[in-house]
Structure 1
Amino acid sequence: MKHSVYLSNKSLLAGVGFLLLIGLAGFLAPWLAPHDPLLINLSNRLAPPSWSYPFGTDHLGRCILSRVLFGSRISALFALFIVVCTFVISLPIGLFTGYVRGRGDHFFMRLIDGTLAIPDIVLTIAIVGVLGPGLIHMTLAIVLVRWAGYVRFIRSLVRNASQTDYILSARMSGNNHVRIMRRYILPKVFPPLLVYGALDTGKVVLLMAGLSFLGLGTQPPAPEWGVMLHDAVAYFQVAPHTIIFPGLAIMLFVSACQLIGEAQNKSQLIAGKRIA
């Protein structure tokens, strides 16, 4: 029944389809790209879309379509990598603080409150400013900033699940705490975490693009969507295609993540009502 709920959700299928399309385009970029994304041709700079250059060229004569295709490898894959790393760090902390509580819970919650008091973009810029610009430093900064929100969310899910009757029954049956968290609590909180992760992946792509746009993330000449936006700002009025196509790529990816997250949430609610 759960599978039929998911398969009948058109928003979920559309979001997954868009993400698969972006992932496939990035994987096949060496074969799909009509030109070298780093090849400079000043004689053909700011050329409008044509058969030879479907998305036109940028201020250095580089093929925008080729750069968008190769850029999906950096933007999409690193966003997914950041979310996975944040999950790996936050999940054991959230399980521990939500289930065991005590002094450890109090310490982590004060640390989380202090982290969440500062806006994500401000704290990320501060960390990257200390570490220096670059893709690796940007990735590390985003993980260091976003782990607190994940821990708070996981902790709230675990606290709610720990108060249910079947967890009390599991304790009375002689199960140890590790077994209860792994076998009974984790499967209960994992579906909402998928929704949270899908929604957050789109936010991470926007954050990465924003940092690269400010010159703090991926550095030129790497074909990354935020870098392309940064390079195109000065030429937007005379060559709007230079900023439109990378902007559309970001919008498509973020929209796909939103569709998946909202559709998963809706499907879980429908499945829960049917079970009830």
Structure 2
Amino acid sequence: MKRIRLSFKGSLLTGSVLFGLIVLLGVLAPWVAPHDPLNVDLLNRLAPPSQEYPFGTDHLGRDVLSRLIYGIRTSVLIACAITVATLSVSLPIGLLIGYVRGRVDQLIMRGIDGVLAFPDIILTVAIVGILGPGFVNMTLAIIAVRWAGYVRYIRSLVQKACQEDYVRYARLSGNSHIRILRRYVLPQVLPQLVVYAVWDIGRVVLMIAGLSFLGLGVQPPKPEWGVMLHDATSYFQVAPHVMIFPGLAIMLFVLACQLLGDRFSEKEAAK
């Protein structure tokens, strides 16, 4: 039992440290990055890792480390903003249909089933293809695809909370529906929803990187991990560092989100 608890605390700490460190680097990018991420130096193109350039340079001589650090602002911070925006759209709908049910619930759930019938990345690519490539269109497309999964999850949490005795007592006591949702249901739903959102940020980062890799998301020369992977494909054999480090950055952040989501969900389940 002691080993299990130590493992739980260790993985939770690892995920928290990784997540916090990556976000902090993004916030402090102007003060932490050793070079200008947009500075082109063709004389130093595809330079290997060195003391001046710890992660080497890309095909235009730009510092890979600096571009990775500034890429956090696009890949991670924007993923957090997209997740918050998706929650803002999904939370009222999920609370409403989970609490009221009836015909409105059935109508909205049939639409959600239709959205969820398509894989996320395929539907997102289709929407961006219609709207056109770019950062704004990518953001709108991800929100348009991700909201359905959040609504379904929130609905299930609300329906489970409404079966609790204290919610039934609140109804019998004459509390209004809004008061019941705000005071009794929402506090029960929110912790599990936050866990789900933290875990989902990693998936959003993967979607941003994937769309940018395909040329449909963030456009060069803006630093972004998917854009860096796309630019590195032609030079992987002669300068593997230009692809390895962005790939490691994506892997570490997704791992941090996975550790946080899994450990917090286990903690909630153990209560």
Bin the TM-score by the shorter chain. over 0.9
Q: Does 1:123 align with 2:126?
A: no
- Cα shift at 1:216: 0.3
* Partner deviation per Cα, 1:85-133 (whole Å, 9 max, x = no partner): 0100000100000100112111110110110011111110011111111
- Cα shift at 1:266: 1.4
Q: Does 1:148 align with 2:145?
A: no
- Cα shift at 1:12: 2.0
Decide whether the 8 Å contact of 1:33 with 1:66 is kept in 2.
yes
In the alignment, what sits opposite 1:68? 68
In the alignment, what sits opposite 1:232? 232
In the alignment, what sits opposite 1:92? 92
Partner of 1:196, secondary structure, is: helix
- Cα shift at 1:161: 1.1
Q: Which amino acid aligns with 2:195?
A: V
Q: Does 1:103 align with 2:103?
A: yes
CA distance in 1, matches of 2:99, 2:67: 47
Q: Which amino acid aligns with 1:193?
A: L
Any stretches of 5+ residues in structure 2 without a counterpart?
none
CA distance in 2, matches of 1:256, 1:132: 32
- Cα shift at 1:33: 1.4
Q: Given the two structures, how large is their TM-score scaled by the length of structure 2?
A: 0.96
CA distance in 2, matches of 1:11, 1:191: 19
Any stretches of 5+ residues in structure 1 without a counterpart?
none
Q: Does 1:164 align with 2:161?
A: no
Structural RMSD (CA): 1.3
CA distance in 2, matches of 1:265, 1:35: 40
CA distance in 2, matches of 1:9, 1:108: 40
In the alignment, what sits opposite 1:212? 212
* Partner deviation per Cα, 1:125-181 (whole Å, 9 max, x = no partner): 011111111111111100000000000000011111112211111100110111111
Moved more, 97-106 or 224-233: 97-106
Partner of 2:175, secondary structure, is: coil
In the alignment, what sits opposite 2:257? 257
1:5-44 alignment runs, 5 A limit: 9-44=9-44
* Partner deviation per Cα, 1:40-87 (whole Å, 9 max, x = no partner): 111111100000110000011110001001000111100000110010
Matched length:
266
CA distance in 2, matches of 1:32, 1:177: 50
Q: Which amino acid aligns with 2:240?
A: P
